[in-house]
């Protein structure tokens, strides 16, 4: 079975690579749609690959916001692009997000995501809450939605380093309590609220924000302004991506990790912190993020202004424990993710064959 992952998001995000590798043992050969074609990019790109299934991961890639005169056209043309693709090949969708980050209020965005979901023969989500929200938001049949683990994002990184060794590498004080925020810096992640909270309350713990600033330079500049003059706020922002080797050192050096996202459906970063046995704080409002709770390493809070400080103190009093996270890592193995995914693929192919959906010009061109 040939499956095309669209788009190719392997740079900076391990999800597709790890899933594709695991799918190989189930007879699924995965390719990646790396080229972006002007005019019907999904349909034209998929047509060149001749897949059995087109597996869409982040559909907003095909109606990108680039800040030019063509933004509205990209949004408008996507419906035809998706319709043509779904007409000649079964589409499946992984709903990593309900709506694209920082774009939910844009005209046409909800319509495009809803159309993708309704066109898909199967939809993958990563929690029961996400399943319910997808069903309600886009009027979907529950039978079309399949829950799979998000996967163990620590599998390529190895066990943590000794804490002091990691801190020496990063030039962090050995005696400070270190609270880590990591990943690309973008408005939806709420790191500005955390930096402001730290600055206004003079917390005695070190807040370290580590990640790429190249997706939102203006937002990163705002963080530097908020942090100015506060010694316990440490911004380590840079161009490029945070690679696994460096991230491993940061996770090893930290006492807890904080995820103050304004809105998110799933979080590979939170899943990674969970795999590393690092205590983490996350708002109650992000109920679709499945972290196998209750668990002594997961601390939920309502708001920064109410109970965050109490939960932060509790998290910092809880030691990291990589061994304790082994049960979570076993529940989220990529073999388990791939087994469920491959089974759904086979069901989609059987249904497509029985209705003739999978017999179209791409197949005829391949046979010729």
* pLDDT tens, position by position, 81-113: 999 999 989 999 999 999 999 898 899 999 999
C-alpha distances out from residue 294 to 65, 291, 297, 298, Å: 39, 8, 9, 7
Instruction: Flag whether 95 is in a domain.
Output: yes
Give yes or no: residues 138 and 265 share one domain.
no
Which range, of 9-13, 192-196, 261-265, averages the lowest pLDDT? 9-13
Residue 67: predicted pLDDT:
79
Q: Residue 66 is encoded by which pair of tokens?
A: 């680039």
Question: pLDDT tens across 138-151, in order?
Answer: 999 999 999 999 99
Residues 164/295/302/285 CA torsion (nearest 10 deg): 110
Instruction: Flag whether 178 is in a domain.
Output: yes
The β-bridge partners of 22 are none
The β-bridge partners of 257 are 180, 280
Give yes or no: residues 133 and 178 share one domain.
no
Give yes or no: residues 17 and 137 share one domain.
yes
Give yes or no: residues 242 and 136 share one domain.
no
CATH number, domain with residue 247: 3.40.50.2000
Instruction: Flag whether 303 is in a domain.
Output: yes
Backbone dihedral region for residue 183 (phi beyond 0: left; psi -120 to 50: alpha; all else: beta): left
Which range, of 101-105, 106-110, 263-267, 299-303, averages the lowest pLDDT? 101-105
The β-bridge partners of 303 are none
Q: Residue 256 is encoded by which pair of tokens?
A: 């807890």
Give yes or no: residues 324 and 350 share one domain.
no
Instruction: Flag whether 30 is in a domain.
Output: yes
As a whole number, the mean pLDDT across the chain is: 94
Is a pLDDT exceeding 50 seen at residue 366? no
Q: Which range of residues forms the domain containing residue 89?
A: 2-149+333-361
The β-bridge partners of 233 are 207
Angle between helices 244-253 and 268-275 (to 10 degrees): 60
- Tell me the pTM: 0.92
Residue 356: predicted pLDDT:
60
50, 31 Cβ separation under 8 angstroms: no
Give yes or no: residues 318 and 337 share one domain.
no
Instruction: Flag whether 155 is in a domain.
Output: no
Rounded to an integer, the average pLDDT of 260-289 is 97
d(CA 137, CA 333): 29
Residues in the chain: 368
Counting other chains too, the contacts that 294-302 makes at CB distance below 8 Å and 24 or more residues apart are 295/328, 296/324, 297/321, 297/324, 297/325, 298/274
Instruction: Flag whether 129 is in a domain.
Output: yes
Dihedrals phi, psi of 206, to nearest 5 degrees? -90, 120
299, 315 Cβ separation under 8 angstroms: yes
Give yes or no: residues 310 and 353 share one domain.
no
Peptide bond into 294 cis (omega under 30): yes
Output the furthest CA–CA distance in the chain (Å, rounded): 70
Give yes or no: residues 18 and 98 share one domain.
yes
d(CA 5, CA 54): 6
Collapse the DSSP code of 340 into the 3-class scheme (helix H, G, I; strand E, B; otherwise coil) and give the result: helix
Give yes or no: residues 111 and 12 share one domain.
yes
Domains held by the chain: number: 2
d(CA 240, CA 86): 34
170, 250 Cβ separation under 8 angstroms: yes
> Strand 91-94 relative to strand 122-125: parallel, antiparallel, unpaired?
parallel
Counting other chains too, the contacts that 321-325 makes at CB distance below 8 Å and 24 or more residues apart are 321/277, 321/297, 322/159, 322/160, 322/276, 322/277, 323/277, 324/277, 324/296, 324/297, 325/274, 325/275, 325/276, 325/277, 325/297
Percent of the chain with pLDDT over 70: 96
Identify the DSSP state of 27.
T
Give yes or no: residues 256 and 354 share one domain.
no
Give yes or no: residues 181 and 241 share one domain.
yes
Instruction: Flag whether 154 is in a domain.
Output: no
Instruction: Flag whether 280 is in a domain.
Output: yes
Residue 364: predicted pLDDT:
39
Rounded to an integer, the average pLDDT of 155-182 is 97
> Strand 122-125 relative to strand 53-56: parallel, antiparallel, unpaired?
unpaired
d(CA 17, CA 8): 10
Give yes or no: residues 188 and 318 share one domain.
yes
């Amino acid at each position: 079975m040939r499956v095309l992952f669209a788009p190719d998001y392997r740079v900076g995000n391990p999800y597709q690579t790890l899933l594709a590798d695991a799918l190989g043992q189930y007879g699924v050969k995965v390719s990646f749609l790396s080229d972006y074609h002007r005019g019907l990019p999904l349909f034209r790109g998929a047509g060149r690959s001749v897949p059995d299934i087109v597996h869409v991961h982040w559909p907003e890639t095909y109606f990108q916001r680039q800040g030019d005169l063509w933004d509205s056209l990209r949004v408008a043309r996507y419906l035809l692009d998706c319709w043509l693709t779904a007409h000649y090949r079964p589409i499946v969708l992984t709903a990593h997000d309900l709506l694209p980050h920082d774009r939910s209020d844009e005209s046409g965005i909800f319509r495009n995501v809803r159309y993708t979901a309704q066109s898909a023969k199967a939809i993958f989500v990563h929690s029961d809450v996400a399943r319910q929200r997808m069903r309600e938001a886009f009027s979907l049949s529950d039978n079309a939605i399949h829950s799979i683990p998000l996967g163990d994002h620590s599998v390529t990184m190895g066990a943590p380093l000794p804490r002091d060794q990691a801190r020496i590498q990063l030039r962090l004080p050995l005696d400070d309590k270190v609270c880590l925020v990591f990943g690309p810096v973008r408005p939806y992640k709420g790191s500005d609220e955390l930096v402001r909270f730290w600055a206004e309350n003079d917390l005695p713990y070190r807040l370290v924000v580590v990640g790429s600033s190249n997706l939102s330079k203006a937002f990163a500049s705002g963080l530097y302004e908020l942090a100015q003059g506060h010694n316990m706020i440490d911004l380590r922002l840079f161009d490029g991506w945070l690679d696994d080797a460096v991230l491993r050192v940061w996770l090893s050096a930290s006492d807890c990790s904080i995820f103050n996202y304004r809105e998110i459906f799933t979080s590979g970063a939170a899943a990674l912190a969970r795999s590393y046995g690092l205590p983490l704080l996350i708002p109650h409002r992000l109920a679709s993020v499945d972290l196998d709770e209750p668990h002594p390493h997961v601390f939920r809070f309502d708001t920064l202004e109410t109970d965050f400080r109490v939960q932060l103190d509790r998290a910092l009093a809880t030691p990291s424990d990589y061994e304790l996270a082994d049960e979570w890592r076993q529940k989220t193995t990529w073999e388990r993710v791939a087994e469920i995914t491959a089974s759904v693929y086979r069901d989609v192919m059987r249904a497509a064959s029985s209705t003739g959906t999978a017999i179209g010009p791409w197949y005829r061109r391949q046979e010729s």
